[in-house]
Structure 1
Amino acid sequence: MLDDFLIRAALAGLGVALAAGPLGCFIVWRRMAYFGDATAHAALLGVALALAMSISIFAGVLAVALVLAVSVSALSARGAPVDTLLGVFAHGGLAVGLVVVSLLPGARVDLMGLLLGDILAVGKVDLAVIWSGAVIVVGLLAWRWSGLLIATLNADLARASGVDARREDLILMLALALVVAVALKVVGALLISAMLIVPAATVRPFARTPEAMAVLAALCGAVATMGGIAMSYQFDTPTGPTIVATATALFVVSSVLMRRR
């Protein structure tokens, strides 16, 4: 019989995989990997602000991630270079967050847990937050699926079809902000983007339709999560990095199989 903390860890990982898989497909298609990194790094500023204001860490991280998403969308629309903006927000948010945490009197923060995740410490409230966020993200993607696909393919085609490409971009960024907020506890700020990118990249050669790729990416993330938790428990390794390492191993296997084909 599995211990309760392992069951909660598995459920938390599956919730993140459910949301990160389909969303990661758009990240791969749009080549937005750096945006995921920037949002995750800036999330540490949200942790610092949450501690300073004595509010929920989830609320602080979500607020900062949403501000980042809206700011990048607004500034890029004015012609500012996106890669430069992301670099400033990513490293600036990470640095300011760490400085603020160090200045808080009596604050006890597990930096390793924030950076690499602490999935084995997930509680019932965390589970509720993770699954609520996952359901919202999946529902949002399902609702805007056609518009997001058209905007991903071509902005001009989107305008000709009556789709506001900027609106779809903002919806995608908001969904990404929510995934970062719920995944911070599971895999940490440094590994969130890996759970977005690696499963989607792993199944991409085997999917014939965008919908199939989204489903396969979620399944691949779930397999990596369960396998990573099992290996972490067996070999006493950090769970978040082990999950990402398992996902990376699946990507390597996928690449080898495609070359042989």
Structure 2
Amino acid sequence: MSGLLSEFMIRAALAGVGVALAAPWLGVFVVWRRMAYFGDAVGHAAVLGVALSLMIQLPVTLGVAAVAVTVALVIAALEHPRVGLGADALLGVMSHGALAFGLIAVSFLPGARLNLEAYLFGDILAVGWADVGVIWAGAAVIAAVIGWRWRGLLTATVNPDLAWSAGLNPDRDRRILTLALALLVALAIKVVGALLITALLVIPAAAARPLSRSPEMMLGVAMGIGVLSALVGLGLSYAADTPAGPSVVVVSVVCFVLGRAIGSLRTG
């Protein structure tokens, strides 16, 4: 018990909870808009951001955010009908291309290969108090921005034409969502890593969907599932000596299965 209350575990728990509270604000829209592959592409770009940050000696969070924003904006530009490429094919190219470029770039950094697993799968147990502060500050920004644009984003998600007629700007709201997603990727890379970021976005929100009767309820339930996954996953990691990031995701998957089962019982 004393190990669970040690300082590094407290820092890890606070970092995990901070990301778990931030992710559902975007995860619900990722699920509603079927943007999982978009989140995957931006998440994989984080590895390239890490490599560039180390090359030019920038803070990793800043470098990851810059690359994630760039990749997201490039995808948005290439999705224009004149490009003539399907969205699924485009996202596949960008997702795997960004990851491949990132892995190659990391291979040129002396000593970086030793830390590559931490960037791919997260190293939540290694976060410091400064990291915790950055995560919670970023989570507050994400919650404030998405909360401010909540109604506009909901309207544009349900019916873009209705949003335009109501004087809203779905394109602007999509850009806001994109920037917030890039910020979340930068915050979450130390917690779950580049390969598992999309899981943190999608799974709690998808698990909450059959248990919710309104968008706001879905957001709240997803937050609860995310926090539960972070804390139980950390406890499982400590008790069974398993990787922390994947353990958090496994607990999320269990919550998803239970949520779907409960939802089926309700509708059945």
Which residue does 1:46 correspond to in 2? 49
Q: Which AA in structure 2 matches 1:32?
A: M
User: Are 1:55 and 2:88 counterparts?
Assistant: no
The within-5 A match list for 1:38-117 is 38-77=41-80, 79-80=82-83, 81-107=86-112, 109-117=114-122
Q: How many residues align?
A: 261
The within-5 A match list for 1:197-212 is 197-212=202-217
Which residue does 1:152 correspond to in 2? 157
User: Are 1:12 and 2:9 counterparts?
Assistant: no
Q: Which AA in structure 2 matches 1:125?
A: A
Identity, in percent, stands at: 52
Q: CA deviation at 1:260?
A: 2.4
Q: Which runs of 5+ in 1 are unaligned?
A: none
Q: Secondary structure at the match of 1:202?
A: helix
Scaled by the length of structure 2, the TM-score of the pair is 0.94
- Tell me, in whole angstroms, the C-alpha distance in 2 between the residues paired with 1:178 and 1:16: 11
Aligned partners of 1:12 and 1:122 also within 8 Å: yes
Q: CA deviation at 1:112?
A: 1.0
Which residue does 1:234 correspond to in 2? 239
Q: Which AA in structure 2 matches 1:235?
A: A
Which residue does 1:171 correspond to in 2? 176
| RMSD of equivalent CA atoms | 1.3
- Tell me, in whole angstroms, the C-alpha distance in 2 between the residues paired with 1:254 and 1:105: 45
- C-alpha change, 1:106 and 1:208, in structure 2 (3 Å) is closer
Aligned partners of 1:22 and 1:215 also within 8 Å: no
- Tell me, in whole angstroms, the C-alpha distance in 2 between the residues paired with 1:78 and 1:128: 42
- C-alpha change, 1:107 and 1:232, in structure 2 (3 Å) is closer
Q: Deviations over 1:52-84 (max 9, x none)?
A: 101111111000001112222223245443323
User: Are 1:246 and 2:254 counterparts?
Assistant: no
Q: CA deviation at 1:37?
A: 0.6
Q: Secondary structure at the match of 1:185?
A: coil
- Tell me, in whole angstroms, the C-alpha distance in 2 between the residues paired with 1:219 and 1:167: 29
- Tell me, in whole angstroms, the C-alpha distance in 2 between the residues paired with 1:104 and 1:154: 47
Aligned partners of 1:8 and 1:127 also within 8 Å: yes
Q: Which AA in structure 1 matches 2:247?
A: T
Scaled by the length of structure 1, the TM-score of the pair is 0.96
Q: CA deviation at 1:187?
A: 0.4
User: Are 1:34 and 2:37 counterparts?
Assistant: yes
Q: Which runs of 5+ in 2 are unaligned?
A: none
- Tell me, in whole angstroms, the C-alpha distance in 1 between the residues paired with 2:62 and 2:184: 13
- Tell me, in whole angstroms, the C-alpha distance in 2 between the residues paired with 1:64 and 1:191: 17
Q: CA deviation at 1:211?
A: 0.9
